[in-house]
Amino acid sequence: MKKRFVIWTLILFSLYGLLLGLYFFQWTGVGVPPAYEGTAADPATFMTDRELQLSQEYSRYQNFLSFLGEPLEWIIYLGVMVFGVSLVFKNFGERISRFSFVQIPMFVLLLSTLTSILLFPLDYARRWLSVEYGISTQSFSSWMRDELIGFWVGYVIMALLITVLYFLMRKFQKRWWLFAWVLMIPFLIFMMYLQPVVIDPLYNDFTELQDKQLEEKILTLADEAEIPAERVYEVNMSEKTNSMNAYVNGIGSNLRIVLWDTTLERLQDKEVLFIMAHEIGHYVMNHLYWNLAGVIVATFFGLYFTYHLMKWSVRKWGGKFGFSKISDIATLPLFYLILTILSFVSSPVELAISRNAETDADRYAIEMTQDPEAAIGSFQELTVNGLSDVNPPALVKYLRYGHPTMMERIHMLESYQDVEIKKE
């Protein structure tokens, strides 16, 4: 079984990599459709030839690496079971302690560490590519610090969740997935409340916006939208990236309006105001809460299908992998495998919903600011600084993009501008 697994993995993954290479570097062309040529959405109108070349190269390499890495996590989880590593981790935890609240976090730590080590080369390749093309300005030591923070934050959260999950599996063999879902609801709300003030500051330094005139303008927009914000935060991202961003996140008293310092440095005030109006639009249209509701619904179906698929898988292959019941912690790689595959399968629907929400926020922002020129300019500048592909291949758009393409967004804004001109 082990030999067969290795051979078929090498054959199928090599074939997958070859097809990806052909798709991104041979079968998909570059450029824009004839209908967009010469418009504000045509990168040739706001990017130099060199910038355009770098954008196309960078996007292709990044997309190739992203899609190449998609099945690697699945292979790792499957390999951990095939080679008996899962049983080794389980036995190690049992030697350390007879208590499950020690054994389970230890298993999660060992599996997380192994997965991170095996995926590190791909993560480093993405980071190297970003540095080479001038997107990332972050030193290796700073990047590693963020990686380690992310690892330990993720570990603490997962260790807690998995410990509770496997307790429920032992206690309620047929309804553990339902009880787990019920407990996830307050946890997700709590994390949404906690994120801006506890987790985000672990990675970056947040200060009050230094430009008080701009802050007053942003707070005026927020006041018009009835957002209960008293200040705007600035985050130091220039030491890590040349990309630009802004966001509104959190709930209740922990709500935060945040601007990256790169956005402040590269955009004019009126362009910043459009970006902020877009983020305010998400708040006004309750996208934060709709997103939370979507995660809750997705979690329900994810756990439901995972329960049935795990039960079937354990019955069919459990003997070969060394476990006979779902509540055995050795099944954790199987749980991860099923959950990540379900997440991938459902991602086109989730991304389509996200793209629709982003379009609505763009419309809200242009209606609020009434400045199409600034709106178009902000997206053009975002494209140049991030070396974004304005017209990505269909596979990338539907399996990776939570936003409409830059071409679609700029074209929508230009169409709005044309309508306004005709009205005048």
Q: DSSP letter string over 223-260?
A: HHTT---S--EEE--TTTBS---EEEE--GGG-EEEEE
CA distance 339 to 322: 21
Of how many residues is the chain composed? 424
Q: Of residues 279, 328, 371, 381, which has the active-site annotation?
A: 279
Q: What's the pLDDT score for residue 13?
A: 95
Q: Are the C-beta atoms of residues 260 and 246 closer than 8 Å to each other?
A: yes
Q: Of residues 362, 381, 408, 414, which has the active-site annotation?
A: 362
Q: Are the C-beta atoms of residues 413 and 383 closer than 8 Å to each other?
A: no
Residue 88 burial (10 A CB sphere; 0-12, 13-18, 19+): middle
The annotation status of 278 as a binding-site residue, yes or no, is: yes
DSSP for residue 135: S
Q: Are the C-beta atoms of residues 369 and 375 closer than 8 Å to each other?
A: yes
Among 21, 22, 26, which Cα is nearest to 68's?
21
CA distance 424 to 363: 20
Start-to-end Cα distance in the chain: 73
The annotation status of 282 as a binding-site residue, yes or no, is: yes
Average pLDDT score over residue span 329-357: 95
Q: Are the C-beta atoms of residues 227 and 280 closer than 8 Å to each other?
A: yes
Indicate if the pLDDT at residue 27 is higher than 60.
yes
Indicate if the pLDDT at residue 421 is higher than 90.
no
Average pLDDT score over residue span 98-112: 94
The Cβ-side half-sphere exposure at 250, using a 13 Å CA radius, reads: 19
Q: What's the pLDDT score for residue 89?
A: 96
Structure tokens at 212: 């008080």
Residue 329: band (very low, low, confident or very high) from pLDDT cuts 50, 70, 90: very high
Average pLDDT score over residue span 368-382: 92
CA distance 310 to 95: 26
The overall average pLDDT reported for the chain is 91
In the chain, pLDDT over 70 holds for what percent of residues? Answer: 98
Among 304, 246, 239, 312, which Cα is nearest to 274's?
246
Q: Are the C-beta atoms of residues 243 and 385 closer than 8 Å to each other?
A: yes
Query: Which residues, 6+ apart, have CB-to-CB distance to 343 below 8 Å?
Result: 302
What pLDDT, in 10s, does the model give residues 138-176?
Answer: 999 999 999 999 999 999 999 999 999 999 999 998 999
For residue 102, give the H/E element and its range.
helix 100-132
Q: pTM of the predicted model, to two decimals?
A: 0.91
Whether residue 279 lies in the annotated active site: yes
Backbone angles phi, psi at 172, to 5 degrees: -130, 90
Structure tokens at 131: 């540095």
37 versus 167: the higher-pLDDT residue is 167
Q: Are the C-beta atoms of residues 58 and 135 closer than 8 Å to each other?
A: yes
Within 10 angstroms of residue 226's Cβ, the number of other Cβ atoms is 9
> Angle at Cα 407 formed by Cα 19 and Cα 381, nearest 5°?
110
